Structure 1
Amino acid sequence: MKKTKRRRGRELALKALFAWDINEGQDREETFELFWTQAEDVSEEITEFAKRLIEGTAKNIETIDELIKNQAKNWQFSRLAYVDRNILRLSIFELLYCPDIPRAVTINEAIELAKTYSTADSSKFINGILDKIKENNAG
């Protein structure tokens, strides 16, 4: 199945956020700059969408992480897999700050990212967390 432009943008955003997360302590701008020098060559439309997601997620990371901590009962935030944590971050940014993207699409895309980059169990966990956040932040 052919990937949509937005799916490719989300994948790039996930990879950039993952790189930032695993290089804890490294300057955010430096990490993202390095990421873009090594990223695959994609259209400007895909790049712009990915940058919107990356920058928005990074800017709102404290709020987003607090939501994850509040919803992921019985899970230590630091013990979440890097991939899962960043799929959640990216998707929560979309749910809260991107009214132009249908919420059902955001959740479906998160599940697909988890199936591709993580595990089937992770996709269920991510779906549950995002559903709770969607319900608690309706509007």
Structure 2
Amino acid sequence: MYTTRSHRRLVRDLAFKAIYQMEFQDLAPSESVHRVCRMEGVSLDFEKEVMEFVEGTFSKVEEIDKIISERLIGWSLERLSSISKSILRLGTYELIYVPNIPIEVTINEAVELSKSYGTPKDRKFVNGVLDRIAKNFAPPSKRGL
């Protein structure tokens, strides 16, 4: 039904939507994912994949937010748009904690989310922040070392 790339892209897209939704509603990750996946009409197996990304992100959100905050130049986490913050959280989680996905793929997919949901300035911003995070925090296996 989906190619690997389009499958992963949809998982990221739905995970982003669930994380973004949680910025505005007091929902547990499981409820947010369930709502988003129900609206998109995806299978339960697919929902489980989305859940892994969202629960993984929120199980490490304090650490992720600290990492993001330390890599912002002239900004604070509180000043970021909810879109940029959600994309950066998801991208940071993937860079650091999800094995077997190259840095370039993670950053490119985050930029694609920015193109779809953010402003033109968000693309460069997300790219720059995630690049700084990757250089400092991505496991050596992802950096080709």
TM-score range, shorter chain: 0.7 to 0.9
Gaps of 5+ in 1: none
Aligned residue pairs, count: 136
- Within a 5 Å distance, the mapping from 1:60-139 to structure 2 comes to 60-138=60-138, 139=140
Structure 2 counterpart of 1:20, one-letter code: M
- Within a 5 Å distance, the mapping from 1:26-65 to structure 2 comes to 26-29=26-29, 31-32=31-32, 35-36=35-36, 38-65=38-65
TM-score, with structure 1 as normaliser: 0.88
Give the corresponding residue for 2:6.
4
The superposition leaves residues 62-90 of structure 1 with CA deviations (integer Å, 9 ceiling, x where unpaired) of 00000111011211211100010000000
**In the TM superposition, what is the alpha-carbon distance from 1:46 to its structure 2 partner?**
3.3
Give the corresponding residue for 1:15.
17
CA RMSD of aligned residues (A): 2.0
TM-score, with structure 2 as normaliser: 0.84
Query: Is the CA contact 1:83–1:117 (under 8 Å) kept in the aligned structure 2?
Result: yes
Q: Distance in 2 between matches of 1:48 and 1:128?
A: 30
Gaps of 5+ in 2: 141-145
- Higher RCO by CA contacts (8 Å cutoff, separation 6 or greater): 1
Q: Distance in 2 between matches of 1:11 and 1:71?
A: 24
Identity of aligned residues (%): 37
**In the TM superposition, what is the alpha-carbon distance from 1:37 to its structure 2 partner?**
6.8
**In the TM superposition, what is the alpha-carbon distance from 1:27 to its structure 2 partner?**
4.3
Q: Evaluate the alpha carbon distance shift between residue 99 and residue 33 of structure 1 in structure 2; reply closer, same or farther with a 3 A threshold.
A: closer
**In the TM superposition, what is the alpha-carbon distance from 1:10 to its structure 2 partner?**
0.7
Q: Evaluate the alpha carbon distance shift between residue 30 and residue 97 of structure 1 in structure 2; reply closer, same or farther with a 3 A threshold.
A: closer
What stretches of structure 1 move > 4 A for 4+ residues in a row? none
Q: Distance in 2 between matches of 1:133 and 1:6?
A: 21
Give the corresponding residue for 2:143.
none
Query: Is the CA contact 1:20–1:31 (under 8 Å) kept in the aligned structure 2?
Result: no
Q: Distance in 2 between matches of 1:27 and 1:130?
A: 26
